[in-house]
Amino acid sequence: MKILGISGFYHDSAAALVVDGEVRAAAQEERFSRKKHDARFPAQAAHWCLKSQGLQLSDLDAVIYYEKPLLTFERLLETYLGAAPRGRGAHLWQRCRCG
Rounded to whole angstroms, the Cα distance separating 20 from 76 reads 35
Q: How confident is the model at residue 87 (pLDDT cuts 50, 70, 90)?
A: low
Q: Which residues contact 61 (CB under 8 A, 6 or more apart)?
A: 1, 2, 3
Q: How confident is the model at residue 92 (pLDDT cuts 50, 70, 90)?
A: very low
Say which of 11, 37, 47, 91 is annotated catalytic. 11
* 37 is known as an active-site residue: no
* 44-66 mean pLDDT: 95
Q: Which domains does the chain have, with CATH numbers?
A: 2-65 (3.30.420.40), 68-99 (no CATH)
